[in-house]
Structure 1
Amino acid sequence: MSEVTRRGLLGGVAVTAGAAAIQSAVEAAVSAGPAAAETAACPTTGPVTVYPADPRYQELTVGYNQRWVGAPDYVRLVSSTDQVVRAVQEAVSAGKRISVVSGGHCLAPFVFNPDVKVVIDLSGLSNVYFDPLRNAYAVEGGCRLSAAYDALYKKWGVTIPGGMCPTVGIGGHATGGGYGFLSRQLGAVIDHLDAVEIVVVDRTGTARAVVASRDPADPNHELWWACAGGGGGNFGIVTRFWFRTAGLGGKQLVSPPKDVLLSAVGIPWSALDRTKFTALVTNWGSWYEQHAAPSDPARVLSGVASLAHRSAQNIFLLTQVDATASGAQQLLSDYLGALTQGLGVDAIVAAQPAAKLPWLHAVKLIAASIPSFINPTLRGSSKSAYLRKPYTAAQAGAMYDALNRTDFSNPAGAVTLAGFSGGAINAVSPTQTALVHRSCSYWTLFETQWQDPAADAANIGWLRDLYGSVWSATGGYPVPGEQADGCYINNPDPDITDPAFNRSGVPWYTLYYKSNYARLQQVKAAYDPRNVFRHQQSIALP
């Protein structure tokens, strides 16, 4: 299964560094040039099979989230589509359960669990190139976001509007939708998806590679539709993505801004009481609700607010604005003013001015400022929510209470408000792709990370209490309605299927896919009739 990527934003571990450290990095970056190293192409080599006795096995059977460790019969590292076909066929013929890893950022036990007997590792399948046959940019299924950004921009001056974490794999990120700082301006990653090459298994148990495109006349068009937001691990293994922006012409794919304004503002918890914290959360939601329309000029701005546990000492507002847009500086000033209205922190905000940076430089700086993105020792738990309207005062109060608990002290515990929805994303019909959440203003990540396995119960329990309290009025989960719009499949939540926690009466698949689920089931029946590609929350056969 294509790994489902981590949607962590401003990880709490980074928050402990403090606003000053991040701001210093921003200021230092102003005079530094963009990194010049090119991303080397990965040559095709023979497949490598790693068995339990191999020293590499322990590294290849655990992903970003150290809570989930696999025990497969072997790991097969591949570097071509043909090798993937053969690896899948071998496993299917032997009756062995398959999973697949791209970047390894699946937060749930979908890839590494006791049922999986063969892990297919796509890390050797990571080339990025222009394909003249499709007149599109090809990104292979094992490529990580940092490599994709580097190659696409340095060689052709184009990009995909993806996430911040450099080590996330394109496989899970794209199939779940894919968001980042450019998404309000340019859309989700899958809004630029022209085609996929995917290894599937037919009713006879035969593995083969098929190409599915967004052309409605393509006989495999429904498979493309499902891969454009239907989540990883459901239909097959995507070995190649082709990106081309419809109707653009010229370079065939969108370009990022030449420069961006990057603002990092830290607000000390000592400046916030319950009333002021609630005002900040309300102000945030109101601004994004007011600027969610696809044509809104403020779509060139996107930000995150990391509301970390009080033990982190600060909360953070990280904002990016297209510096080439008219009135960019004023837009940023007005935005920060709107978010902090009534908080009495004007002097704090003014003391942390924005920096103007080349776009790729900003991408790398954000990644470097958040150590949790690349820390290989972390355990984690997370949950998500799409929002149309601001949180209520009661919901913000529930956040405040959890973030100020004295019986739990972890600076990595945080609620992150993410302004990566709305704008251009909302210009697309909810049925045009499998990504159904096309009328939202922002979404939220509820997360905690830690290292010691002995701290599992405390961290998982704290997060469950926090999330359950925020969504207590709707049975513990953000039921689609006037205020909320469900959950993000790229932030998979093991609790969502458990009626002890999801008391809403709304099934997990409705929270993830809403009315698109039935259509996804039909695609499942057509392309994976034997249910070869499955996990604990995969699309079920109809």
Structure 2
Amino acid sequence: MPEVSDGRTSPPDGVAVSRRGLLAGAGAVAITAAGTAAGTVAAGTWGADVALAQSDAAQSDAAESVAAGADADAFGPVTVRPGDFRYDNLLRGNNFRFVGRPEEIRVVGSTDQVVRAVSEAVRSGRRVAVRSGGHCFENFTADPAVRVLLDLSPMDAVGYDAGRRAFSVQPGATLGHVYRTLLKGWGVTIPGGGCPEVGAGGHFAGGGYGPLSRRYGSVVDHLYGVEVVVVDRDGTARAVVATREPDDPHRDLWWAHTGGGGGNFGVVTRYWLRSPGVTGTDPSRLLPTAPQRMLQYVVIWSWEHITEKALTGLLRNFGTWHERNSAPGSPYAGLYGILQLSHRAGGTVMLVAQIDADLPDADSMVTGFASAVTAGLDLTPALDIRRTMPWLHRMTWPGTGEPGDVITRRYKIKAGYLRRSFTETQLAAIHRNLTNSTGGPNAGMLLIGYGGQVRAVAPGATAIAQRDVVMKAVYQTIWEDEKEDKANLAWVRGFYHDVYAETGGVPVPGEVNDGSYINYPDADLADPACNTSGVPAHTLYYKDNYPRLQRVKARWDPRNVFRHALAIDPPQAG
């Protein structure tokens, strides 16, 4: 169950702010086992059709499976159990609120090792979970019921598979590593998130997005195929390759990984990426060309001078601009904006704009955007910075996007999609909660620009159902001490419920709201004490795509091996 992970961006250079609190910012050689020179791949890897399963039935299905290469050359497997001095070092993911106690942590380096580990777990009746980057916001990999934790971090190869005419990315590769390798080798990129330490494993499967998504769509709009370790009804574990080819008998498994979330169908051991409709064999033309330079504009205002009119005006204007400039093909589709509002205790409100500096009229578009967001408001910035920098510099800056403190990182994130601007009632609720006495300095919210090319894809073409949206809203709080858990959780839950009070405390799909984003998982949506709408969590995340996801679940995980607090349930018999 690869963990879900986010598509957020990082704070601007030189601005002292809580890093996860400010998502925006400016957010050769096939490195590692991917090969030794641009355009090459490791011997015996991608494209080899070799059975990986452990039974005769799986051996006969060799055309479905892909070898991970010579196991002798792969890292691991390494098994770490309680009592081993390495155990505590490998136990935690990114959110220190959640710490499991598995019987073993299996560190794996190849698809074959994953198959064996899953086989052993199933045979022994032990619950298994999978971690690639470790950025899951909930306890999917730290559930006390998990007995075997698979650590995929050594599986971080990025390279080009000439046989499939697609780029191969293993789940343990961080986004920063993916961007560096694709740029160095071929000058291309993907529209993924701006936190470079997030792992591809969960980010891709959940429908990752980032600073280039308004221009190029979601990451999964470029997903050609997946390799997934699944478990058959008889308990046999095997690796299956599924692609978007219309005649692929496993195409439904590919579709489920285009936004169906990590941890629902099996263990992803490899992704292949190629933009739809491209032709030829030149790798440099098979994914979007990476920008050469990024223009970033940052404006920060002090809360000391923010009135209710100013705050709600910024939110309203930001939303209106996105309503008007988020159609596919819009000249503004290349502009990515984020409005970050800390709680008053945090002291600042920030607007960030990013754009490919070499797009026509890039500078004037940024100026026009900032003017539209501040129109009619009497605001004097405390800081106003406009910089142009190499695109790769911002997208791979180490450490950006990490929450809180190095010793204790604790946070709670909630989210919602928006089809248009917040209502006046919602705007009043936002101001009320950002100025109350219970929020902390690392609490607040963000509005993140979305839409553009994302809206060019039909809701059923991928598992991402929320295609007719223009923004994502994020509500968050970050703290450092376990003793502060209760107060922080109460604040962010109260904030969220207040904003969506008219729809049972959650963003029920409608004229304004459109559910939530599975890569920002929030177990509260499945809790009737928090979600009083009567609309189930799976509708908020997947809308009309959920029944199809259930059918995929029934076919590829008939034993329900892969599950977590927000997992896709098998269809009810009847």
TM normalised by structure 1 equals: 0.93
Q: C-alpha distance in 1, partners of 2:489/2:256?
A: 32
C-alpha deviation, 1:244, in angstroms = 0.5
Structure 2: which amino acid aligns with 1:348? P
| 1:355 alignment counterpart | 387
C-alpha deviation, 1:255, in angstroms = 1.4
Secondary structure at the aligned position of 2:416 is classed as strand
Structure 2: which amino acid aligns with 1:51? R
- 1:2-36 deviations in whole A, cap 9, x for unaligned? 11114555689x985399xx9xx98xx9xxxxxx9
Query: Identity across aligned pairs (percent)?
Result: 45
Structure 2: which amino acid aligns with 1:492? P
Moved more, 335-344 or 74-83: 335-344
| 1:299 alignment counterpart | 333
Q: C-alpha distance in 1, partners of 2:557/2:170?
A: 22
Q: 1:48-197, aligned counterparts within 5 Å?
A: 48-197=78-227
Structure 1: which amino acid aligns with 2:414? K
Q: C-alpha distance in 2, partners of 1:373/1:436?
A: 32
C-alpha deviation, 1:254, in angstroms = 1.1
1:414 is matched with which residue: 429, 436, 444?
444
Classify 1:370/1:89 alpha carbon distance in 2 versus 1 (closer, same or farther; 3 Å).
closer
Gaps of 5+ in 2: 35-72
Secondary structure at the aligned position of 2:142 is classed as coil
The number of residues matched between the two structures is 524
Classify 1:429/1:66 alpha carbon distance in 2 versus 1 (closer, same or farther; 3 Å).
same
Does the CA-based 8 Å contact 2:18-2:404 persist in structure 1?
no
| 1:3 alignment counterpart | 3
How large is the Cα RMSD of the aligned pairs? 2.2
Q: 1:219-298, aligned counterparts within 5 Å?
A: 219-249=249-279, 250=282, 251-298=285-332
C-alpha deviation, 1:353, in angstroms = 3.5
Q: C-alpha distance in 2, partners of 1:16/1:65?
A: 22
Classify 1:451/1:8 alpha carbon distance in 2 versus 1 (closer, same or farther; 3 Å).
farther
Does the CA-based 8 Å contact 1:8-1:445 persist in structure 2?
no
| 1:33 alignment counterpart | none
Secondary structure at the aligned position of 1:414 is classed as strand
Classify 1:226/1:371 alpha carbon distance in 2 versus 1 (closer, same or farther; 3 Å).
closer
Are residue 429 (structure 1) and residue 458 (structure 2) matched? yes
| 1:397 alignment counterpart | 428
Does the CA-based 8 Å contact 1:98-1:120 persist in structure 2?
yes
Does the CA-based 8 Å contact 1:272-1:343 persist in structure 2?
no
TM normalised by structure 2 equals: 0.88
Q: C-alpha distance in 2, partners of 1:57/1:204?
A: 32
Structure 1: which amino acid aligns with 2:351? L
2:373 is matched with which residue: 339, 345, 355?
339
Does the CA-based 8 Å contact 1:199-1:236 persist in structure 2?
yes
C-alpha deviation, 1:532, in angstroms = 0.5
Secondary structure at the aligned position of 1:58 is classed as helix
| 2:413 alignment counterpart | 382
Classify 1:411/1:280 alpha carbon distance in 2 versus 1 (closer, same or farther; 3 Å).
same
- 1:322-370 deviations in whole A, cap 9, x for unaligned? 211111111000000111112222x528x624111121122235x6565
| 2:549 alignment counterpart | 520
C-alpha deviation, 1:37, in angstroms = 11
- 1:456-500 deviations in whole A, cap 9, x for unaligned? 001000001100100001110111011110000000101111111
| 1:32 alignment counterpart | none
Structure 1: which amino acid aligns with 2:162? P
Q: C-alpha distance in 1, partners of 2:458/2:542?
A: 14
Gaps of 5+ in 1: 30-35
Structure 2: which amino acid aligns with 1:74? E
Classify 1:229/1:122 alpha carbon distance in 2 versus 1 (closer, same or farther; 3 Å).
same
Comparing both structures, which one devotes a greater share of its residues to helix?
A: 1
C-alpha deviation, 1:237, in angstroms = 0.3
- 1:161-198 deviations in whole A, cap 9, x for unaligned? 11111111111100000010000001100010000000
Does the CA-based 8 Å contact 2:128-2:562 persist in structure 1?
yes
C-alpha deviation, 1:539, in angstroms = 0.7
- 1:425-449 deviations in whole A, cap 9, x for unaligned? 1101111111111000011111111
Does the CA-based 8 Å contact 2:229-2:269 persist in structure 1?
yes
Does the CA-based 8 Å contact 1:15-1:411 persist in structure 2?
no
